[in-house]
A and B are shown apart, each in its own frame.
Chain A
Amino acid sequence: MNAPPIDWFALAPILIPLGAAVLAVLLEVFIPARFRRLVQMSWALTAITASGVWALIRALKPADEAVSAVGGHVLVDPLTLFVQIAIALSAILAIIVIADRTRSGEDAFSPQPAAAPGSPDEEEALAAKLVHTEAYPLVLFATGGMMLFPAAGDLLTLFVALEALSLPLYLLTALARHRRALSHEASLKYFLLGAFASAVFLFGASWVYGATGTVRFLGIAEQIQGQGLGADPMLFAGFAMLLVGFAFKVGAVPFHAWTPDVYQGAPAPITAFMAACTKIAAFGALLRFAYSVLAYVTWDVTIALWTVAIATMVVGTALAMVQRNIVRMLAYSAIAHTGFILTGLVAFSAEGISSTLFYLLVYGVATVGAFSVVAAVRLRSGTLGAGALTFDSWAGLGRQSPILATAMTLFLLSFAGIPLTSGFVAKFGVFAAAFSADAMPVAIVGIACSAAAALFYARLIYSMFFAEPAEALDAGERTQGLTNITIAACAVITLALGLWPAPLLDFATKAAALLP
């Protein structure tokens, strides 16, 4: 068997972060401790920016056909490029937050995760000025995996990408400086459930291989059509297991349970990174899988997807409503948003793809923004408020730091889908796509859930602006200000895409054009 031709230029957006990650591990060894943070941060930012710009340049060139970079195992088409650009954008914004510290140099990561706070071990670590700069190479590895995920053209590449993006995230989750036990618990939960989901996914892939004799998407689709496998029970079981793996990664009901614990336990900047980028990457891959494979099966796969979409929206919204903790509220709202994005996906039309892509980018940016505000408030309120991110503890934020609170309000309004924010255009897009593709019930449930969801977003706005100030808010120190860059950028993008969404919609429409 000959080695397949490799198109290095097409692969570059994937290879740059992975290569940079390997080098970053070396940097970690050779760079003196006091420069390490600066070097690692700049290195990670440069690598991901380069990768994103590379993808952008390729995307702007008029492409007539998909490039299969490694003999069809990696597909670089406009869909891939759009998703890669969205991942790169969110990752850059998130890394800036990851790099932020308080004025006395405390970042969000514990210097010695195994040490209990206040113990002699901890003091030793502080005295030695240990800093966890491993976070940067880990983020780079994860980003590399995410870049590959939507480009995967067969089930094995898909699985490799899935693991490449997941493993670093399990580690990153465990690194929180405050509330370490919670962080470790979250990491363990994430790892166990993630490993389980991966196993089910791999098992599913083997069943599909057994039924069709191939793991490549195009091959599977051909087999289904050619051999009349549309109703094959073995294939059915295989697809069902693959969908379990996807559902776990995107956080769809009933495989959503890890989301709130992990979002809460992980360091807030990592939550920003993972909430945005994982979802974008996983949906990118799911889009490809759904439209190039699932679309050919004859049993009514749409009914299953409808059920998942509706259940995800309803469960996410209902549970978000009863949360007292802001991060958990945002986590359940992320589950609800998974449902909204699925609404676009189940349309199975070109509009479904383009509206889903638009939604992903918009949601990613607003999510990074919202968790950045959480990170900023968390640092500011010191150890006192670190765990107590309740609605009440944010009371009066609007008076103490009006700009932070205004930005948060903007992100919440975008989540709620209020017009003039990007979230509204995105929601209109997916609902309209579902509506005109006869998935009317899903769209109606989506609209109803949006109305209900506005309630808990409004409650947080209410706490920030109308309630009497809480004392915890100023207990800690201010940050060095890097987070503010991200927050400002996210706010500008959210507003700009709300006022003038036409160019990005155009771009998303083009990205959707080449998918069958």
Chain B
Amino acid sequence: MLSIPWLTLLIVWPCVAALSLWLIPALRHQGRQTAIAWSLVELVLAIGTTVAWCSDTGNVRLAFRADWIPQFGVSYAVGLTGTGLVMVLLSTVLVPIVLLAAWNEQKTPRRSTHYAALVLALEAFMVAVFCARDVFFFYVLFEAMLIPVYFLIGSFGGEGRKKAALKFLIYSLVGGLVMLAGVIGLWSQARVRASLFADSALVGLGSTRVFSLDWLTAGGVAVIPTMNPTPERLIFLSFFIAFAIKAPLFPLHTWLPDAAHAARPGTSVLLVGVLDKVGTFGMMALCLELFPGAARWAAPVIIPFAVVSVLWGGIMAIAEKDILRMIAYTSISHFGFIVLGIFAFTSTAHIGASFYMVNHGLSTGALFLAAGFLIQRRGTGEIDAMGPGLQRTVPVLAGTFLAVGLSAIALPGFSTFISEFNVIAGSFATRPWEAGIAALGVVLAALYILLAYQKIFTGPPREDLAGTRDLSGRERWVIGPLIAAMLALGFFPAPALNALRPDAVATVEHIQGPAGSWEGSGQ
């Protein structure tokens, strides 16, 4: 049945595609076209994976494991949960769109080929990290992913790109090395457990796979549930800090506005839409799955930070003068919601958070792209300098911006509404106060989007803007699918929610269940 190694194909193909662009001279002149073709192949593979996933059973599907570095207990272990699947789909959908959006951004074919190859290389890491079922493998991808992003920001961005790239790299590396301490701690804990079972038949298998998530949580000697609270909490914290930098949570968020401002809008789409989700995905897949006791222990502290993120991001977005930085701040606000949903520990909130990750990718991606079109036309990112009155000259762009903006403020009908509603309603059950305060973020969202729209598009049209082009066919194709997807998921969310539900229910049961040091968790 599993004769086709879907996930491995899905990981290897973008690597091959990127290498082909770098190494085969004939493809170099046709870089853009080839890259889009290759990314569409990847999308087809992703759809094939989805079909295969649906016909498989269990919580982690299409699983595959092979020894990688047996000396350290590291395996190449892949498998897809529901959340992983939707994130893989999101990544594979966004990549062709980003490539199409960057069609004539670069001056020479050589540079656009280089850009496209970097995006494809990044895609391989993104897909792999959502499939990873081994802590070490996850960590390797989590860190190695920085390199293509560093080059995407540093080589191709706009003003201030070098500083922003360096800031991004330093924040991420520091986060990554904090996590490395946790990974090493986990290794030494797991080995202690494994040696206790030295006479058991399981160890023969277990010692070469101590990092595999299945071995750590369920199979073998069940390391995690029997761990002492102190190392468990320390390791949890090291993981959480790394993820909180990635999915920027207040106060570790300051790199994101700079990076988003300096990068190409297409890069920002991937950076905010997918890469930062690796942080929230890691919170779900590693922090909650591995350290349920520590997660319960830390939740009362994490949730206030999430709420502050929601409000702080919103307030900063209102005050922000640059449109790309403004969108970055809105994302910080949205990430606050996602983290709130993850640590509220109800299945509704958890489903909401997972779904939020997808919708935020679509909505913010579209917002960045629309902003990119605006900046291309006006030559500036200053909100005050772009308008006013652009609505008359570029009605389609204005309408698009409004639609995308409304999706960002979670208007009913858009899929974002469903996820935001689920998060707030689900968190209300366990954390009424915090959920209530976070709901204020919805009001802030309406303010920052509508104020920006008002400044740019409404009012008396300026004379000198009369010749501004409206959206071209290519640009409509770039942004249309994203709006369509949000509307489709807004009206028919059932397939996505059904895919996410088992995962959410299992995680919440895992957290609330008898396993783990519930007594020692300080609750």
Measured CB to CB, the residues of A under 8 A from B are 354, 413, 416, 418-420, 424-425, 428-429, 431-432, 435-436, 443-444, 447-448, 450-451, 454-455, 458-459, 461-462, 465-467, 501-502, 505-506, 509
Asked if A435 meets B166 with Cβ closer than 8 Å, knowing A420-B140, A466-B161, A506-B71, the reply is: no
Judge whether B56 is part of the interface by a CB distance below 8 angstroms. no
Would A436 and B67 count as touching, CB distance under 8 A? no
Judge whether B86 is part of the interface by a CB distance below 8 angstroms. no
Would A418 and B177 count as touching, CB distance under 8 A? no
Would B177 and A451 count as touching, CB distance under 8 A? yes
Judge whether B187 is part of the interface by a CB distance below 8 angstroms. yes
Judge whether B184 is part of the interface by a CB distance below 8 angstroms. yes
Give Cα A501–Cα B72 distance, bound, in whole angstroms.
10
Give Cα A447–Cα B71 distance, bound, in whole angstroms.
21
Would B161 and A444 count as touching, CB distance under 8 A? no
Would B166 and A428 count as touching, CB distance under 8 A? no
Would B184 and A502 count as touching, CB distance under 8 A? no
**B379 → chain A, closest Cβ, in Å?**
23
Asked if A431 meets B184 with Cβ closer than 8 Å, knowing A448-B177, A462-B154, the reply is: yes
Q: Enumerate 5 A-B pairs (CB-CB under 8 Å) in ascending A order.
A: A418-B143, A447-B177, A461-B150, A462-B162, A501-B69
Give Cα A404–Cα B177 distance, bound, in whole angstroms.
28
Asked if A419 meets B143 with Cβ closer than 8 Å, knowing A451-B173, A501-B69, A509-B71, the reply is: yes
Judge whether B155 is part of the interface by a CB distance below 8 angstroms. yes
**B232 → chain A, closest Cβ, in Å?**
16
**A219 → chain B, closest Cβ, in Å?**
34
| Closest residue on chain A to residue B70 by CB atoms | A502
Would B144 and A435 count as touching, CB distance under 8 A? no
Q: Of the candidates A428, A429, A431, A458, which one forms a contact with B169 in the assembled complex, judged by CB atoms under 8 Å apart? A: A458
| Closest residue on chain A to residue B189 by CB atoms | A436
Q: Of the candidates B70, B72, B154, B162, which one forms a contact with A432 in the assembled complex, judged by CB atoms under 8 Å apart? A: B72
**B121 → chain A, closest Cβ, in Å?**
11
Q: Of the candidates A354, A418, A459, A509, which one forms a contact with B147 in the assembled complex, judged by CB atoms under 8 Å apart? A: A418
Would A419 and B154 count as touching, CB distance under 8 A? no
| Closest residue on chain A to residue B136 by CB atoms | A428
Would B162 and A435 count as touching, CB distance under 8 A? no
Give Cα A505–Cα B208 distance, bound, in whole angstroms.
13
Give Cα A506–Cα B183 distance, bound, in whole angstroms.
21
**A265 → chain B, closest Cβ, in Å?**
31
Give Cα A432–Cα B177 distance, bound, in whole angstroms.
13
Would A436 and B188 count as touching, CB distance under 8 A? yes
Would B170 and A436 count as touching, CB distance under 8 A? no
Q: Which residues of B contact A428 (CB under 8 A)?
A: 72, 180, 183-184
Give Cα A312–Cα B154 distance, bound, in whole angstroms.
32
| Closest residue on chain A to residue B188 by CB atoms | A436
Give Cα A509–Cα B169 distance, bound, in whole angstroms.
34
Asked if A454 meets B169 with Cβ closer than 8 Å, knowing A418-B147, A428-B72, A505-B69, the reply is: yes
Would B173 and A436 count as touching, CB distance under 8 A? no
**A291 → chain B, closest Cβ, in Å?**
19
Q: Of the candidates A431, A465, A509, which one forms a contact with B155 in the assembled complex, judged by CB atoms under 8 Å apart? A: A465
Interface 1/0 per residue, B241-262 and A, CB below 8 Å: 0000000000000000000000
Count of CB-CB pairs between chains A and B under 8 Å:
83
Give Cα A443–Cα B185 distance, bound, in whole angstroms.
11
Judge whether B510 is part of the interface by a CB distance below 8 angstroms. no
**A435 → chain B, closest Cβ, in Å?**
5
Q: Which residues of B contact A466 (CB under 8 A)?
A: 154-155, 161-162, 165
Judge whether B392 is part of the interface by a CB distance below 8 angstroms. no
**B134 → chain A, closest Cβ, in Å?**
13
Q: Which residues of A contact B147 (CB under 8 A)?
A: 413, 418
Q: Which residues of B contact A459 (CB under 8 A)?
A: 166
Interface residues of B in 61-77 (CB under 8 A from A): 67-72
Q: Which residues of A contact B161 (CB under 8 A)?
A: 466
Pairs A-B, 3 closest by C-beta atoms: A419-B140, A451-B177, A436-B188
**A102 → chain B, closest Cβ, in Å?**
28
Asked if A454 meets B68 with Cβ closer than 8 Å, knowing A418-B147, A432-B187, A466-B155, the reply is: no
Would B154 and A454 count as touching, CB distance under 8 A? no
Give Cα A454–Cα B161 distance, bound, in whole angstroms.
19
**A168 → chain B, closest Cβ, in Å?**
37
Q: Which residues of A contact B166 (CB under 8 A)?
A: 458-459, 462
Give Cα A204–Cα B67 distance, bound, in whole angstroms.
48
Which of A435, A444, A458 is packed against the most chain B CB atoms within 10 Å? A458
Chain B: interface residue total (CB-CB under 8 A):
35
Would A454 and B173 count as touching, CB distance under 8 A? yes
Q: Which residues of B contact A458 (CB under 8 A)?
A: 150, 166, 169-170, 173
Give Cα A462–Cα B169 distance, bound, in whole angstroms.
11
Q: Of the candidates B71, B151, B180, B183, which one forms a contact with A502 in the assembled complex, judged by CB atoms under 8 Å apart? A: B71
Give Cα A502–Cα B76 distance, bound, in whole angstroms.
12
**A8 → chain B, closest Cβ, in Å?**
35
Asked if A435 meets B70 with Cβ closer than 8 Å, knowing A458-B166, A466-B161, A466-B165, the reply is: no
Judge whether B335 is part of the interface by a CB distance below 8 angstroms. no
**A350 → chain B, closest Cβ, in Å?**
11
| Closest residue on chain A to residue B143 by CB atoms | A419
Q: Which residues of B contact A509 (CB under 8 A)?
A: 71
**A110 → chain B, closest Cβ, in Å?**
39
Would A436 and B191 count as touching, CB distance under 8 A? yes
Would B69 and A465 count as touching, CB distance under 8 A? no
Interface 1/0 per residue, B35-75 and A, CB below 8 Å: 00000000000000000000000000000000111111000
Would A419 and B173 count as touching, CB distance under 8 A? no
Would B71 and A505 count as touching, CB distance under 8 A? yes
Give Cα A506–Cα B68 distance, bound, in whole angstroms.
12
Q: Which residues of A contact B72 (CB under 8 A)?
A: 428-429, 432, 505
Asked if A450 meets B177 with Cβ closer than 8 Å, knowing A419-B144, A436-B188, A502-B70, the reply is: yes
Give Cα A108–Cα B178 distance, bound, in whole angstroms.
43
Give Cα A429–Cα B73 distance, bound, in whole angstroms.
12
Q: Which residues of B contact A354 (CB under 8 A)?
A: 71
Beyond the given pairs A413-B147, A419-B144, A458-B166, 6 more chain A to chain B contacts, judged by CB atoms under 8 angstroms and listed by A's residue number, are A419-B141, A432-B72, A459-B166, A462-B162, A465-B154, A506-B71
| Closest residue on chain B to residue A454 by CB atoms | B173
Q: Which residues of B contact A465 (CB under 8 A)?
A: 151, 154-155
Judge whether B139 is part of the interface by a CB distance below 8 angstroms. yes
Give Cα A450–Cα B177 distance, bound, in whole angstroms.
8
Judge whether B437 is part of the interface by a CB distance below 8 angstroms. no
**A410 → chain B, closest Cβ, in Å?**
10
Judge whether B506 is part of the interface by a CB distance below 8 angstroms. no
**B331 → chain A, closest Cβ, in Å?**
25
Would A447 and B181 count as touching, CB distance under 8 A? yes
**B152 → chain A, closest Cβ, in Å?**
12
**B139 → chain A, closest Cβ, in Å?**
7
Would A432 and B69 count as touching, CB distance under 8 A? no
Give Cα A444–Cα B238 distance, bound, in whole angstroms.
12
**A417 → chain B, closest Cβ, in Å?**
8
**A353 → chain B, closest Cβ, in Å?**
13
Interface 1/0 per residue, B115-149 and A, CB below 8 Å: 00000000000000000000000011101101100
Q: Of the candidates A418, A419, A432, A447, which one forms a contact with B188 in the assembled complex, judged by CB atoms under 8 Å apart? A: A432
Q: Which residues of A contact B170 (CB under 8 A)?
A: 454-455, 458
Give Cα A424–Cα B179 distance, bound, in whole angstroms.
14
Would B165 and A462 count as touching, CB distance under 8 A? yes
| Closest residue on chain B to residue A421 by CB atoms | B144
**A467 → chain B, closest Cβ, in Å?**
8
**A284 → chain B, closest Cβ, in Å?**
20
Judge whether B174 is part of the interface by a CB distance below 8 angstroms. yes
Give Cα A454–Cα B191 distance, bound, in whole angstroms.
29
Give Cα A413–Cα B72 distance, bound, in whole angstroms.
21
Give Cα A403–Cα B161 distance, bound, in whole angstroms.
23
Give Cα A117–Cα B178 distance, bound, in whole angstroms.
51
**A69 → chain B, closest Cβ, in Å?**
30
**B46 → chain A, closest Cβ, in Å?**
23
Give Cα A354–Cα B72 distance, bound, in whole angstroms.
12
**B103 → chain A, closest Cβ, in Å?**
23
Give Cα A502–Cα B151 distance, bound, in whole angstroms.
30
Give Cα A424–Cα B142 distance, bound, in whole angstroms.
13
Give Cα A418–Cα B140 distance, bound, in whole angstroms.
8
